[in-house]
A and B are shown apart, each in its own frame.
Chain A
Amino acid sequence: DGGITQSPKYLFRKEGQNVTLSCEQNLNHDAMYWYRQDPGQGLRLIYYSQIVNDFQKGDIAEGYSVSREKKESFPLTVTSAQKNPTAFYLCASSIERPLNTEAFFGQGTRLTVV
C-alpha cells in the first residue's frame, strides 16, 4: 500500500544528544514536509523540500536539520541546539502542484527528552 512511514514511533533522547527521525514515502511525491505538534497546539512547519537535494526552512527551523538525498526519504535530525525538543513530529508529502492539493501524513514520532 502507498503511504508514509515514520520510524521509530517512540524515541527517547538524553539532553545534549542528536537524534534522527526517519520518514519514507512510496507515493512518488516530489514535496515532503516536517511538522512539530505540541500538546493543545496546532502543527508548525519545521522544514520542507520540493525536490531532491534541495530543502527550505519553515517557521521553526532552529535546532533542526534535514537532508533530501532520495525522493523517497526526508530524515529530520533534532540537534542538541533545540532547546525544547519534546514533541510529536509528523512527516508529510504531497505533489507539488496544484497548490490546493492535500498532504498525506505519517503516523508520527513521539520524541521525549529524558
Chain B
Amino acid sequence: AQKVTQAQTEISVVEKEDVTLDCVYETRDTTYYLFWYKQPPSGELVFLIRRNSFDEQNEISGRYSWNFQKSTSSFNFTITASQVVDSAVYFCALSEAQRGAQKLVFGQGTRLTINP
C-alpha cells in the first residue's frame, strides 16, 4: 500500500535560515511521482515541485531545492534563505502509475513558521 510520512509536525526558524522538510514514502509501484505542495492560510494548495521515480537527478529552482533518494525512499525539500512569506503548511504527495489518473496520497503536512 502507498503511504507518505512527514515526521516533522511543526518547524519554526528565523528568517534567512535554510530549512529542510523531510518526506518518506512507501510504494510497490516501480513508476511513481512525488510532489511538494504549499498550503497558505487562504487554504488552497499550491504546486511547488515534482519528481519522477525514474529521474534521480536533484535540482534547484530559485530558493527551492529537493533531494530525491530512491535507496532510502526519501524526497526532502529545502528552502534556502527563508522568508516570512514562506510560512505555510507544506505537503509531500505521491501518485502511482498503477493507480491511474493523478490520485494523490498526501503526508500529514509540516507547519513551517518563519519568524522575522
A and B associate in one complex: yes
- Give the residues from 79 to 114 in chain A that come closer than 8 angstroms, CB to CB, to chain B: 88, 90, 92, 94, 96, 99-108
Chain A interface mostly: strand
Q: Chain A interface: which of B14-22, B61-69, B97-105?
A: B97-105
A17 lies within 8 A of chain B by Cβ: no
Smallest Cβ-Cβ distance to B48: which chain A residue: A102
A70 to B: closest C-beta gap in Å: 19
- Say whether A42 contacts B91, CB under 8 Å: yes
CA distance A107 to B44 in the complex (A): 4
B44 to A: closest C-beta gap in Å: 5
A45 lies within 8 A of chain B by Cβ: yes
- Say whether A108 contacts B104, CB under 8 Å: no
Interface size class of A (residues with CB under 8 A): 20 to 34
- Say whether A102 contacts B35, CB under 8 Å: yes
Out of B35, B42, B47, name the residue touching A107 (CB < 8 Å).
B42
Seen from chain B, the residues whose Cβ lies within 8 Å of a Cβ on chain A are 4, 6, 9, 33, 35, 37, 42-47, 50, 52, 91, 93, 95, 97, 100-109
**Which 7 A-B pairs rank lowest in CB-CB distance, beginning with the nearest?**
A42-B106, A102-B47, A108-B43, A100-B33, A105-B45, A43-B106, A105-B44
Known: A35-B104, A48-B103, A99-B33. 20 other contacts (CB 8 A): A31-B102, A40-B108, A41-B108, A42-B91, A42-B105, A43-B45, A43-B104, A43-B106, A50-B101, A92-B45, A99-B95, A99-B97, A100-B95, A101-B102, A102-B35, A102-B47, A103-B45, A104-B47, A108-B43, A108-B44
